[in-house]
Amino acid sequence: MSFWRAAGLNYVRYSQLCAMAVRRGLKPEAQAEAMKRDVTTIKAIKWKDGKAYH
Secondary structure (DSSP) of 11-53: HHHHHHHHHHHHHHTS-HHHHHHHHHTT-------EEETTEEE
Q: What is the pLDDT of residues 5-33, one digit of tens each?
A: 888 889 988 988 898 899 889 999 898 88
Question: How sure is the predictor about 40, in pLDDT bands with cuts at 50, 70 and 90?
Answer: confident
Helix, strand, or coil here: 46? strand
CATH topology of domain 3-53: Atp Synthase Epsilon Chain; Chain: I; (1.10.1620)
- Could you state, in order of their start, the residue ranges of all structural domains in the chain? 3-53
Query: Quick one: which of 20, 15, 24 has its CA closest to 39?
Result: 20
Alpha-carbon distance 13 to 49, whole Å?
34
Asked if pLDDT for residue 1 goes beyond 80, the answer is no
